[in-house]
Amino acid sequence: MESPFKSDILHGKVALITGGGSGIGFEISTQYGKHGASVAIMGRRKAVLDSAVSALQSLGIPAVGFEGDVRKQEDAKRVVESTVKHFGRLDILVNAAAGNFLVSAEDLSPNGFRTVMDIDTVGTFTMCHEALNYLKKGGKGRSSSNGGMILNISATLHYTAAWYQIHVSAAKAAVDALARNLALEWGADYDIRVNGIAPGPISDTPGMSKLVPDEIESKAREYMPLYKLGDKWDIAMAALYLASDAGKYVNGATLVVDGGLWLSRPRHLSKEAVKQLSRAVEKRSRDAPVGVPKRSKL
Ligand code: COA
């Protein structure tokens, strides 16, 4: 689908995207590149990074890949520094790297819980921390008045509760807290905007195939208000809006892009049934004898 945005809205910007080699992270990398940004992607798997970089370059996007694990501070530091060395500056950090699997709370070991917290929450904080010096106003290659921006890929699981996702719910709740607190502190001190996007189920992503395997996908669709999955493109368009000047006053927000799914509840009655029931209840209440209130003795 064609982007509704002008192709130069990120002209001259440099973006570093963790988890940028696949899924939502790759689509954000592609759309940022198509709208003028130079793109560095970070990931653990060299082969995935290599093919993603070739795909970006074949679109004419200046792109580079750096191997690294967001759980390791030395990797975070090295990748941020390498990005600035390669492109001269850093304007946008997207934290899209995440870990997930379905597991009941009782079957999840504390180490499994910690692993997801380490990737999603501590990893996001570590990347932000290492990028601060370059994103802040007056940072390398930046003017003394304009800071950069951070975008975290979150989720909606923790708005209510989610089956078999206690680890990710906890991790993403913390990621949203990071966005708000950094928006406050770094917005005030350094002119850095920090926001999030909370995607719903997005087709053709590693998250989707792990959390909603084919075996249950068609059933899952029945519960969605728009009766369809989102596309990676939907998330990338939101990411473009937030990174561009169109989003320059948005700070500390997490934009839900889920087709209204997190609001949804199973429909217990059909529309026709509720119409009939409602009429019957109304008729009963109108026909009921009106009781005369007893006079107070006071
Ligand atoms: N069910 C229950 N526990 C699991 C699990 C599963 N499916 N997968 C991993 N764990 C537990 C392990 O048992 C281990 O805990 P233990 O030491 O108490 O046994 C802990 O998690 C760490 O597992 P390990 O395989 O060593 O971690 P890793 O660092 O190699 O991999 C994961 C990290 C588990 C998050 C892996 O799924 C991953 O790399 N994911 C990245 C991609 C991804 O998930 N994308 C989806 C994004 S939404």
Give the pLDDT score at 91.
98
Between 204 and 113, residue with greater pLDDT: 113
Ligand 1 pocket: which of 24, 28, 101, 113 to mutate (most atoms <8 Å of CB)? 101
pLDDT digits (tens, 9 = 90+) for 22-53: 999 999 999 999 999 999 999 999 999 999 99
Residue nearest atom 4 of ligand 1, based on CA coordinates? 112
Ligand 1 center–CA 104 separation, angstroms: 14
**Mean pLDDT across 171-183:** 98
Residue nearest atom 10 of ligand 1, based on CA coordinates? 112
Answer left, alpha or beta for residue 83, where phi above 0 means left and psi between -120 and 50 means alpha: alpha
Residue nearest atom 46 of ligand 1, based on CA coordinates? 207
Residue nearest atom 23 of ligand 1, based on CA coordinates? 112
> What single letter denotes the amino acid at residue 192?
I
Give the pLDDT score at 227.
67
Render the burial of 207-224: b for 16+ CB within 10 Å, e for the rest. Answer: bbeebbeeeeeeeeeeeb
Q: Would you say residue 210 has pLDDT above 90?
A: no
Pick from 202, 196, 212: which is nearest to 232 by CA? Answer: 202
Q: Would you say residue 127 has pLDDT above 90?
A: yes
**Banded pLDDT at 198 (limits 50, 70, 90):** very high
Domains identified in the chain and CATH numbers: 14-266 (3.40.50.720)
**Adjacency order of strands within the sheet including 14-18:** 63-67, 38-43, 14-18, 92-95, 149-153, 193-199, 254-257
Ligand 1 center–CA 115 separation, angstroms: 7
Ligand 1 near 208 CB (within 6 A): no
CB under 8 Å, gap of 24 or more: what pairs does 223-226 form? Answer: 223/261, 223/264, 223/266, 224/200, 224/259, 224/260, 224/261, 224/264, 225/259, 225/260, 225/261, 225/263, 225/264, 226/259, 226/260
- Helices 46-58 and 23-34, axial angle in degrees (round to 10): 30
Ligand 1 near 164 CB (within 6 A): no
pTM of the model: 0.93
Residue nearest atom 35 of ligand 1, based on CA coordinates? 99
Q: Would you say residue 62 has pLDDT above 80?
A: yes
CA distance 204 to 191: 36
**Mean pLDDT across 84-109:** 97
Ligand 1 near 145 CB (within 6 A): no
Mean pLDDT for all residues in the chain: 94
Q: Would you say residue 119 has pLDDT above 70?
A: yes
Ligand 1 center–CA 103 separation, angstroms: 10
Ligand 1 near 69 CB (within 6 A): no
Residue nearest atom 40 of ligand 1, based on CA coordinates? 99
| Torsion sign over Cα 61, 66, 67, 68 | negative
**Banded pLDDT at 95 (limits 50, 70, 90):** very high
CA distance 17 to 252: 19
pLDDT digits (tens, 9 = 90+) for 223-241: 666 667 899 999 999 999 9
Ligand 1 near 210 CB (within 6 A): yes
